[in-house]
């Protein structure tokens, strides 16, 4: 069942949220861009509902993309079978990412899954890699947040160097 879900999420024109592909993280409660260009996708604490006073994850992603600067997505949390989303929520996220695919390709230079002490399953790794390919960035898997930050900074620095090379030629 997991391999079927993993295969489907990346072959149906990005019909699943980015966080679901990136390690099948718990439902996103926070998009934390306080350490921009590091953008953390964090789950809610157990039992905590997403605040209705906060902008939607799509609106938060839109604001990040509007910055027009390179960034790296870092997802933390315990991998699960997937978020509890309705078909309508999945449809809205799919439409959002379809509308923003070019900007994601331009500005998101990578995604990193912090696995912790529980490695991500092979089907989920394949789904994350396929999703990354669709958006034009690589997905990396690391053991802890410190390694994720180190890897993310290297990705941002490499993207900046590549951009400056292209501009100077």
Per-residue pLDDT of the chain (169 residues; tens, 9 = 90+): 233 233 333 323 333 334 444 433 334 567 899 999 999 988 766 555 555 667 888 888 899 999 999 999 998 754 444 456 678 877 887 888 889 999 999 999 999 999 888 888 888 888 888 888 888 888 999 999 999 999 999 999 999 888 777 666 6
Q: Using DSSP, state whether 75 is helix, strand or coil.
A: strand
Report the C-alpha gap between 8 and 71 in whole angstroms. Answer: 27
First CA to last CA across the chain, in angstroms?
Answer: 49
- pLDDT value at residue 77: 57
Report field, pTM of the whole predicted structure over 0.85: no
- pLDDT value at residue 23: 35
Q: What is the 8-class DSSP label of residue 49?
A: P
Handedness of CA 89, 100, 68, 136 (dihedral sign): positive
Contact of 37 with 128, CB cutoff 8 Å: no
Chain length of the chain: 169
- pLDDT value at residue 98: 86
Contact of 152 with 38, CB cutoff 8 Å: yes
């Amino acid at each position: 069942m997991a391999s079927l879900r993993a295969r489907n999420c990346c072959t149906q024109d990005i019909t699943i949220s980015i966080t679901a592909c990136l390690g099948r993280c718990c439902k996103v409660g926070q998009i934390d861009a306080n350490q921009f260009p590091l953008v953390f996708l964090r789950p809610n604490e157990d039992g905590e509902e997403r605040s209705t006073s906060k902008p939607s994850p799509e609106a938060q992603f839109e604001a990040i993309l509007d910055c027009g600067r390179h960034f790296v997505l870092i997802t933390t949390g315990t991998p699960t079978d997937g978020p509890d989303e309705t078909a309508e929520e999945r449809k809205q996220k799919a439409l959002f990412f379809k509308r923003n695919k070019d900007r994601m390709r331009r500005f998101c230079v990578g995604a990193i899954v912090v696995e912790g002490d529980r490695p991500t399953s092979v089907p989920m790794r394949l789904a994350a890699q396929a999703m990354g390919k669709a958006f034009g960035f690589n997905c990396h898997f690391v053991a802890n947040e410190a390694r994720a930050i180190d890897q993310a900074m290297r990705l941002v620095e490499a993207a900046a160097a590549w951009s400056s090379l292209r501009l100077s030629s």
